[in-house]
Amino acid sequence: MSDSPAIILHVGAPTCGTRALQRALSAAPLLTTDSGTLAYTVPRPRGGAVLSGRALRTAAARDVRGRLGWPDPEGAETGLFEQIDRVRRKPPGGVPLASNPGWIGQADRFAEALPQWFTEDSPPVEICAFARPPLDWLNAAYWEWGVWSGRGFGAWLAQMGMPYTLGAALSRWAALPGTDLKLGLTDDVLTAFEGAYGTTLPRPARGTDGALPPALLGFLLRNRRYRADATDIAAEEVFRRWCHVEDAPRPWAVLPRHLSALREATGGDLDRLFALIPEAEAESLRARDPRWTVSADPYETLFLRGRAPLDDPEELAQLYRALVRGVGTVAEAAGKPVPPLQPVLATRASVHTWDVAVARALEHLVLLDTAQRRGRRVFGL
């Protein structure tokens, strides 16, 4: 198998830095690496040629998420696999890279749809993936998806079965002929990607790609018109782009009573995951980072604090200040006047009163963001 891959598939995992990586790649879709040029690609919405280079960067800047990626096979146009096969056969100015975090569980579908990719004699397919320790991943997954179901963490986990199967999914990719797996077990995905490919990625000038502040999660859960379900992320993405809450506590849902069952359930999958990296690296990582052994020690402070409160008055005040700053920043970027917003409320104000103020600021933020991205006129609220 030759050293240079025919295509790189970033397959996730979900909630493992995909948002940050896709945003960086969308901002710099042509990267000089140690071995040549890497060309980030995404499909055009209605088929045909893919976007790459400047066209991709422009389209991503106009998208509410600030990033673009490939769709899942489910619900996508029937030509998805034909389209990505054309990218592999006719790369747009470098080794093509395609990204979708949901692809982590799609190895069999790719193998069935594209058998010519996965043979010992075909040009290699590189699989790029990242994973986080089980408790961190499950906690992030809950706040990303589970909390919108209305269930608590334990009930969501019981309904999902055992959702941490990253080792099994990536083992299936690694077992396909003609593949080369690059796996990073890290929280710092951008730095890991840079090290793996010998390149430099842009970092965001503002905002955050990490967990949302608990106060914002609480607001969105109480006011579902701004986020109806787990997939309705437009307002959240606008907030991430323009707002940052300094030292916001990490939203946490895993409790000590969940630990023993999770340790038992994840043990086998962690063994499969660590079998995919060199043995010495696996031993070193397990020794220096007890999160990978599902130990309670790294989470002691979080366990003592319990489930994150979503309506803390001081955190609501911090959230509102961040929104006001964000409105000012996006108004300046859009060349629009800064709309008037009420002063920060007293911490004794009711949650409803806070929600009214936050809603007003968030609506201004979304409208001004639309103006900044698309160059459209904004009318007063």
Residue 24 included in any domain: yes
- Summarize the confidence of residues 244-269 as an average pLDDT: 91
Find the angle CA(58)-CA(64)-CA(67) to the nearest 5 degrees: 55
Are 156 and 18 in the same domain? yes
Residue 349 included in any domain: yes
Question: What are the DSSP calls for 229-292, one per residue?
Answer: STT--HHHHHHHHH---TTPPPP----HHHHHHHHHHHHHHHHHHHTTS-HHHHHHHHHH-GGG
- Summarize the confidence of residues 178-182 as an average pLDDT: 97
pTM: 0.93
Are 121 and 220 in the same domain? no
First to last CA, the chain: 60
Q: What is the pLDDT of residue 48?
A: 67
Residue 279 included in any domain: no
Q: What is the pLDDT of residue 359?
A: 98
Query: H/E/C letters for each residue in 83-107?
Result: HHHHHHHCCCCCEEEEECHHHHHCH
- Summarize the confidence of residues 200-208 as an average pLDDT: 77
User: Could you tell me which of 240, 248, 171 has the C-alpha nearest to residue 214?
Assistant: 248
Q: What is the pLDDT of residue 378?
A: 43
Residue 209 included in any domain: no
Range of the domain at 57: 7-197
Are 242 and 366 in the same domain? yes
Residue 319, H or E segment: helix 313-334
Residue 299 included in any domain: no
Residue 377 has pLDDT above 60, yes or no: no
Q: What is the pLDDT of residue 375?
A: 79
Calculate the average pLDDT of the chain: 91
Are 119 and 228 in the same domain? no
Q: Encoding tokens for residue 240?
A: 């991430």
Are 180 and 327 in the same domain? no
In degrees to the nearest 10, what's the CA dihedral of 130, 20, 136, 304? 160
Are 161 and 228 in the same domain? no
Residue 380 has pLDDT above 50, yes or no: no
Are 133 and 220 in the same domain? no
Residue 182, H or E segment: strand 179-185
Are 174 and 235 in the same domain? no
Are 193 and 218 in the same domain? no
Are 144 and 66 in the same domain? yes
Number of domains in the chain: 2
Q: Which residues pair with 125 in a beta bridge?
A: 7, 179
- Summarize the confidence of residues 36-63 as an average pLDDT: 89
- Summarize the confidence of residues 143-148 as an average pLDDT: 93
- Cα–Cα distance for residue pair 91/38, rounded to 1 Å: 10
Residue 260 included in any domain: no
- Residue 306: pLDDT band (50, 70, 90) is confident
Residue 218 has pLDDT above 60, yes or no: yes
Are 30 and 77 in the same domain? yes
